[in-house]
Amino acid sequence: MSSAIAPMTPTVESIDVEAERIEILKRYRLLLRAAKPFLKDNDAKLIKKAFNTSLEAHKEMRRKSGEPYIYHPLAVAQICVEEIGLGTTSIICALLHDVVEDTDMEIADIDRMFGNKVARIIDGLTKISGNFEFGTSQQAENFRKMLLTLSDDVRVILIKLADRLHNMRTLGSMARDKQLKIASETAYLYAPLAHRLGLYAIKTELEDLYLKYTEPVIYKDIANKLRATRLARDRFIAQFVKPIERDLQVAELDYAIKGRPKSIHSIWNKIKKQNTSFEEIYDLFAIRVILQADPEHEKAVCWQAYSIVTDHYTPNPNRLRDWISTPRANGYESLHTTVMSKSGQWVEVQIRTERMDEVAEKGYAAHWKYKGNETKTGENIETWLSQVRDVLNHSDRSAIEFLNDFRSSLYQEEVFVFTPKGDLKVLQTGATALDFAFEIHSQIGCRCIGAKVNGKLEGISHVLKNGDQVEILTSAKQKPSEDWLKFVVTSKARSRIKEHIREENKGHVTDGRELVGKKLKVLGLELTLETINQLRAYFDAKDANDLFYRFGKAYLQPEEVKKWKADRDARQRALENKVQPSVPLEDGKGFTKEVRKLRGTRTDADMLLIGEDMDKFDYKLAPCCNPIPGDEVFGFVTINEGIKIHKTTCPNALELMSNHGNRIIKAKWTSQLELAFLAGLRITGTDRMGIVNDVTRIISSELKVNMRSITVDSQDGIFAGTIKLYVHDTSHLDTLIRKLEKVKGVVKVVRFDYVDA
């Protein structure tokens, strides 16, 4: 389904057809009312035609919630108009975005009825059908197809973002494994895309909804605390802005001031990054000063307001961000400063004009409204889009590799650097002299041997800073090497280097395939797709070419194929010796089918029960996140190693669920067995004699917990320790943390994830 919410059919008795008809018309009229200001000539008739076509095509379909399916395309069209600012063509495409995929209608029918432009956009919005090789990612293939349409029409991406936003808003009616998959996909690609296209409001809501479904307890906790502190926050803001408002009025500036809380997701990020609590985060909100100004006076008016703010409050010199003189690549323009309030609290103040505010909220689409103005907004967005198109047009890689390279161009801070002639180039933070060389031209990048940065000779891996002036040095004898991939960060540089290396490595790949094929033949095996995938997983190769290349270059020896076969056979024998052989699985659907055979109509018939199913399914706890009972978890069907149980917060979870959602299964802990699970604690505090003894006494004597290891370091009166210990579940661990926090001198105790060797 193109929509995350699949159709279903409720019982006939439960449907009030007339009430639904009235509601559908009400929503349609609401859409027309929102679109009315920009409708021209024949637009209303075309929208009506698209609505009726969609209504007829989806008439038998319902969403998981039981609502008529037409509610979804109507909602997507409404978001396109009200929240992104798109026009008639986009409304038509939003109303029709699912008809080709979900009904008998074809692209040719859309072309005939609505023209080629609409048909091309709908084609970009329609998922790829067909079978995919095991070990590849259908999700990544779909993302690639959608992103390739950037070369034709950016509206495909904007409508897709509206589609995803509505699906996330209505995700509550989906099964848990689907929620995890869709939410992770959203955080992995759609939120960064919204950010890069300047859709701040949509990016923020997508991130918050991701947290709501992947970490519901954390989301509710932060949301409740924000609600509880709202009155105090409003009082503080009113007091803070009083002198600023007075001076803005004296200066006769037309303004509006808003105080808005930071998003729940950004607060959670700060809690994790700073290893602190909600109560200890000072910048829970930002003050926004929005001014009215003619295009030619915007900059002066913003700096005038900045001067007024800093007349009353002392600014932090390290926190001034001038995105008016040099807008961000997504078109964002604003002055940001952090000032000290009279109560000793840091406050972020954002200063911008109405035009800048609309571009900040609605991004790319809003830019076109102001296209006639002399601003750098559109120029920067177009520069980024042309860079993206360039990467997309040089793409013979696997879908997952392609997607990872594309993502590296999203969600990045920028660095502003200059050519010898003074032309400004915007690269992502961390960019090196070599990235700059590829930005100038692919051939210059391939032949780069160094650079003069501000007149000083530097190597190709030199990281550039804001304001650097860079001259690239080249040699006809130079050529790209794999080492270059370790320090370039731009997607353009990465794709060009890989392209060059791939061309050079074709011979090694062919040799490697031949070597592996011969060795398998000696072992009585064929070089099938299944065998290649098993070898890939065993040797941790990115794809088949990477596997064969390593054999062709002699990084791997043919004898190692024999070891792989021996390990595989030993594993198979171990599985066969179990009381009941575990079921071989390829994906989540295969698991659901097998588990339903075992459990019939039980409520937990579609999930893995950790602790009960060991004799039926081959599964283990993932060492990358070491989950313990009480953690939110999911199962992942691997190629070689059965099912692995990961925490939903595992560092690898986002990529697994985004690229391989078909291999995600629901899993939950059972209380049948009281086992010991390894967990890690990090303790910090002020050092004193005997503190380590007090800590270990509580762990070993009071709570009878076994420790595997403890390391403590003390410096300048501060001690920091890490302890690995065995607990039964998260509540057992929470009890231990509370007890340790009461030890004199202990300031903080937090759980941490570690890779268990």
* pLDDT tens, residue by residue, 614-637: 556 778 888 888 888 888 888 888
Residue 385 · residue 122 · CB < 8 Å: no
* The predicted structure's pLDDT at residue 314: 93
Residues 340 and 232 placed together within one structural domain of the fold: yes
| Co-location of 229 and 371 in the same domain | yes
Of residues 626, 588, 651, the one with CA closest to residue 708: 626
Tens-place pLDDT, residues 330-351: 778 899 999 998 888 888 999 9
Please tell me which of 103-112, 399-408, 430-439, 562-571 the model is most confident about, judged by mean pLDDT.
Answer: 430-439
For residues 113 and 150, the model is more confident at 113
713 catalytic per annotation:
no
Residue 44 domain boundaries: 12-214
Closest by Cα among 388, 386, 381 to 367: 381
- Which residue among 67, 101, 153, 655 is the active-site one? 101
Tell me the pLDDT tens digit for each residue of 167-185. 999 998 888 888 888 888 8
Based on the fold, state whether residues 199 and 233 are members of the same structural domain.
no
Domain total of the chain: 5
Q: 62: which DSSP letter?
A: B
In tens, the pLDDT along 199-213 reads 888 999 999 999 999
Residue 541, domain member (yes or no): no
Provide the pLDDT for residue 392. Answer: 60
pLDDT exceeds cutoff 60 at 6: no
Question: What's the chain's average pLDDT?
Answer: 81
Which range has the worst mean pLDDT, 458-462, 704-708, 736-740?
A: 704-708
285 and 421 part of one domain: no
**What is the C-alpha to C-alpha distance for residues 105 and 120, in angstroms, rounded to an integer?**
15
* Any domain includes 564: no
Residues 627 and 647 sit within 8 Å (Cβ to Cβ): yes
Query: Phi and psi dihedrals of 285, rounded to 5?
Result: -150, 165
Q: Tokens for 603?
A: 């409520």
Averaged over 638-650, what is the pLDDT?
82
User: Is 321 found in the same domain as 468?
Assistant: no
User: What CA–CA distance (Å, rounded) separates 482 from 486?
Assistant: 8
Assigned domain for 124 exists: yes
Statement: residue 68 has pLDDT above 60:
yes
In a domain, 583, yes or no: no
Q: Are residue 658 and residue 709 in the same domain, yes or no?
A: no
Report pLDDT for 575: 56
Out of 43, 83, 102, 401, the active site residue is 102
Of 669, 700, 725, the residue at which a domain comes to its end is: 669
State the amino acid at position 634 in one-letter form.
F
Residue 587 has pLDDT above 80, yes or no: no
Q: What is the pLDDT of residue 146?
A: 67
Identify whether 439 is a catalytic site residue: no
Domain's final residue, options 618, 642, 669:
669
Longest dimension (CA), the chain: 89
Confidence of residue 397 (pLDDT cuts 50, 70, 90): low
Q: Residue 678 above 70 pLDDT? A: yes
Q: Which of 240-254, 376-390, 437-451 is least confident?
A: 376-390
Q: Choose one of 375, 408, 441: the last residue of a domain.
A: 375
Pair 414, 426: CB distance under 8 Å: yes
Full DSSP string of 457-482: EE-TTPBP-TT-BEEEEE-TT----G
65 and 129 fall within a common domain: yes
Whether pLDDT at 132 is above 70:
no
When pLDDT is averaged across residues 709-737 and rounded to a whole number, the result is 83
**3-state DSSP call for residue 210?**
helix
What is the arithmetic mean of pLDDT over 558-569? 83
Residue 686 and residue 630 in one domain: no
Identify the band that residue 219 occupies on the pLDDT scale cut at 50, 70 and 90. very high
Poorest-pLDDT segment among 121-135, 274-288, 294-308 = 121-135
CA atoms within 13 A on the CB side of 502: 15
Structural contact between residues 484 and 497, judged by C-beta atoms closer than 8 angstroms: yes
Distance of CA 687 to the CA centre of its chain: 40
Looking at residue 706, the DSSP 8-state letter turns out to be: P
Domain presence at residue 535: no
**474 and 594 assigned to the same domain:** no
Q: Give 684's pLDDT tier (boundaries 50, 70, 90).
A: confident
466 and 490 part of one domain: yes
Q: Identify the pLDDT of residue 368.
A: 56
CA nearest neighbour of 475 among 518, 441, 510, 446 = 446
Mean pLDDT of 595-616: 65
61-70, 235-244, 391-400, 416-425: segment of lowest average pLDDT: 391-400
The per-residue pLDDT for 564 is 85
Same domain for 594 and 471: no
* 199 and 234 fall within a common domain: no
pLDDT of residue 449 exceeding 80: yes
Rounded to an integer, what is the distance from CA 86 to the centroid of its chain? Answer: 24
For residue 373, pLDDT over 60 is answered with no
pLDDT category at 387 given cuts 50, 70, 90 is: low
Residue at token pair 């409404």: 78
Sheet holding 456-458, edge to edge: 456-458, 448-453, 470-474
